[in-house]
Amino acid sequence: MEEDRGMLEASRAGPAASASAPAATVLVVEDQHMVRQMTARLLRSKGYVVLETAGGHEALELEGRHPGPIDLLLTDVLMPKMSGEELAVAFSARRPAVRVLFVSGYSAEALPTQGAPLAVASDFLSKPYSVKELLLRVRRLLAQKD
């Protein structure tokens, strides 16, 4: 779909963050529109600020324009044009403190790597995953100290 290509969305929804603890910002990068939409909706409902794109190049463009923090990069591993792995390496070079959560329909062991091991990721989650498991991983990663 054309709307999947180059779609850049940033929105704030869900419960307001307290003054002492601003909502964490999560960038969701997923080429499958429905998966991206459902993931973003879930995270927003839990109070996260969610940015979303359909691919790696768009994610880097959005990152360059986004003035605030991006606390978590949640990205599919296998995507057209730029893999999630390539995105994570480039993104981490720009924002070293970012946490990365890879998601994939393949196990981590079965994924082809392109020179940069998945070690750049802070965590890996195999699809299909439960809502509970996704939220647990997101919370755990965001709670980690530098």
**pLDDT tens digits, 69-114:** 999 999 998 888 998 889 999 999 999 999 999 998 766 555 555 5
Say if pTM beats, i.e. exceeds, 0.85. no
The answer to whether residue 47 scores a pLDDT higher than 50 is: yes
Q: Work out the mean pLDDT of the chain and round it to a whole number.
A: 81
Across-strand partners of 26? Answer: 50, 72
Across-strand partners of 27? Answer: 51, 73
Sheet holding 123-126, edge to edge: 8-12, 49-53, 25-29, 72-76, 99-104, 123-126
pLDDT reported for residue 10 = 37
Decide: 74 and 27 in contact? Cβ < 8 Å. yes
| Cα 33 to Cα 35: distance, rounded to the nearest angstrom | 6
Peptide bond into 67 cis (omega under 30): no
For domain 2-14+22-143, the CATH architecture is 3-Layer(aba) Sandwich (3.40)
